[in-house]
Amino acid sequence: MITEDDFRLLGSNLRAFVEGIAGSERHELGGSATPFPDAGIDAFLSHFVFTIQLGAPKSHPIHVTLPVALQTVARSKPFIYRGAGEAVTIPLPTGCTLSSEITEKDFPQKPSPYFEPGKEVVWLQIINLDARGDTPLGPMRIILGETLKREYPDLFQPSLGVVQSLGRSGFPARLFFDPCAIVESKAGTFRAVHGVLAYGKITEFPPVGSAVQTTEIIPLHTVEALRAKSSAAAPLATASVLGLAHPIDAALRVSGDEAFKTVEHSISVARS
């Protein structure tokens, strides 16, 4: 005969079993989950480290490290990804002309496993970046987001990213960006696009100190070739990025509007 004590023992065992599963999951993910924050704009310092190869495949690789530059990224509210057809809105700083909506069709690539139904995600867009420095190729400049759209409107594509929880929701998470950039140098002006930047485990926005690198070689096409090509044939790449890291060095304790204005001001000063 089953007694009341038997029911209490069964309930205790069931609770221990469930807590054990949850504890194992938290241990595998490196600790308890932390909720994703609401939509917002992050401002931070970041820098580029990469190796570029010009011309023929056997040409000598050139290593480049640029100084830190201010970058802004907008993020959506967290949501549960349900499958194809998602659309979200993001906040934008005053004066920004980028789209405040990100739809699934806007992503040129959908790398696995960042679009997994049932996972909580945050969608991102790079708002602005203007990185400059002296290199073995002479002065170099890399621009993304608002600055690229303004100076090369015919070659603009949004630079989008996805943060996906490693568990069911919240941090820790994985992150990728699919940036579109213009690289200006004495060797030519190139567009770099469709180079997936994959971050290691992240635990905050912005993910300061998280490991990040490209997952493949990035072909570089000259602006002249892209503008001259017919719609039926893609131009041949005249250079390539063999490897690239873009670590986030430090968060800035300023608003998105302030950071956006600072980037715009730095561009104006450089032109004067």
pLDDT, tens only, 153-179: 999 999 999 999 999 999 999 999 999
Euclidean distance between CA atoms 174 and 151, whole angstroms: 32
Q: Is the pLDDT of residue 264 over 60?
A: yes
pLDDT at 176: 95
Q: What is the pLDDT of residue 126?
A: 98
What is the distance between the alpha carbons of residues 203 and 248, in angstroms, rounded to a whole number? 13
Domain co-membership, 15 together with 138: no
Share of the chain above pLDDT 90, in %: 71
Residues 71 and 223: their CA atoms lie apart, in Å, by: 23
Sign of CA dihedral 206, 208, 214, 215: negative
Distance CA 239, CA 62 (A): 11
Give the rounded distance of the alpha carbon of 252 from its chain centre. 17
Same-domain check for residues 168 and 226: yes
Residue 16's Cβ-count burial label (10 Å; 0-12, 13-18, 19+) is exposed
- The predicted-structure confidence for 106-116, as pLDDT tens digits, reads as follows 999 999 899 99
Residue-level pLDDT at 115: 95
Rounded distance between C-alpha atoms, residue 234 and residue 222, angstroms = 12
Residue type, 64: V
pLDDT tens-digit readout, 191-219? 998 778 898 899 999 999 998 989 899 99
**Quick one: 37 and 113 in the same domain?**
yes
Provide the domain limits for residue 149.
33-271
Are 89 and 166 part of one and the same domain?
yes
Residues 25 and 38 in one domain: no
Q: Are 6 and 81 within one domain?
A: no
| DSSP code for 105 | G
Beta strand extents in the chain (DSSP E only):
40-46, 49-54, 62-65, 69-75, 79-80, 87-89, 101-103, 120-135, 138-145, 160-165, 173-178, 180-185, 188-193, 197-202, 212-214, 218-222, 239-245, 248-251
Q: How many domains does the chain have?
A: 2
- Mark whether 13 and 110 lie in a shared domain: no
Average pLDDT over residues 35-42: 97
Co-location of 140 and 194 in the same domain: yes
CB atoms within 10 A of CB 44: 21
